[in-house]
Amino acid sequence: MAIREQPSLSTPIGAPQPVQVRWWQRYRPDQQWEGYLFLLPSFIGFSIFVLLAVIISLGISFSDWGMTGWRGFIGLTNYQALWRDPIFWKTFYNTAFYVVTIVPLQLALGLLMAVALNQAIRGRMIYRLIYFMPVVTTIVAGAIVFRLLLSNNGPLADLTYWSANLTGLPLRPPDWLNSTQYSKWSVVILTLWKNTGFTMVIYLAALQGVPGELYDAAETDGATGWQRFRHVTAPLISPTTFFLMVFQMIGAFQLFTEPFVMTRGGPAQSSMPIVQYIYQNAFEFTRMGKASAIAWFLFLFIFIFTVIQNRMQRRWVYYETE
């Protein structure tokens, strides 16, 4: 039962008196603390399997740790070994190649598809469904299919040889999977097929949020289609572009399944991304310390890269203000 305080001399007569509530009476079933109880299982799982694992990996990066356990503290030796590891820098170059090719191409293709399917054309819902289907397809199954398509005995190679015999031209299919020149491009093609539909859907939502009266006003002023896109559409969807750019860059830095299934990172590590090199050091060479050091190097690089992007977005991202 609540205990009422004595009325103060400054309290007007007839005014409601303050009530002192004891601590066990503050928790009622109609309060918000029940929501935290529902979040507690997820928070415990996140703390144990994600947060604690991240903290432990930082300690492992300073240790000589194999599959049998801890062998001793070695300080910065794992990080110093990265600077002298040519395979590490090769995989870092491959990852940078994936970032600078996949992200711009995916943004451009997704925006082009979204603009086309935002028009009043017949059957646009069917086209949207077809272009989005690869997003919900299992990436391993898609990689196996592309591996068969791009192989030397696949249908694309047969089509090239058939075209060469028909036209008499010296046409030869590229060795997509076994050439150091084309292996990374085979991964790029698969990634674009898999993820461009997601970019298209996000851009479609952004395009449908652009007010139509702005297009009408620009058309009244004599603006061409390109001018309307450049001065109306592009600024208003720039927050969406910024979100997709950051999201896709992080995904490109963490690329793993596509090259692992298609090329196994070969030939001669020509298509191996840095995440696959982490996997190789941890579970094939049992060098957990070095794998953790590479993972933390990648984390710091992505963090710094994201901070720089967040600073630079102030120059070209336009947010609507009331």
Per-residue pLDDT tens digits for 119-140? 888 888 898 889 999 999 999 9
| 143-147 average pLDDT score | 91
Residue 52 phi, psi (nearest 5): -65, -40
The domain made up of 85-315 has a fold known as MetI-like fold (1.10.3720)
CA dihedral in degrees (216, 217, 222, 223; nearest 10)?
-80
Q: How far is CA 171 from CA 148, 161, 167, 177, 294, in A?
A: 20, 7, 9, 18, 42
Q: What's the pLDDT at 2? A: 46
Give the three-state DSSP class for 15: coil
Q: Compute the distance between CA of residue 298 and CA of residue 280 in angstroms, rounded to an integer.
A: 15
Name residue, tokens 């991304």.
Answer: 273
Token pair for 146: 């592309």
Asked whether the beta carbons of 232 and 218 are under 8 A apart, the reply is: yes
Instruction: Map out the domains of the chain as residue ranges.
Output: 85-315
* pLDDT tens track for 60-98: 889 887 777 777 888 888 899 888 999 999 999 999 999
Q: For residues 55 and 43, what is the distance between their CA atoms, to the nearest angstrom?
A: 16
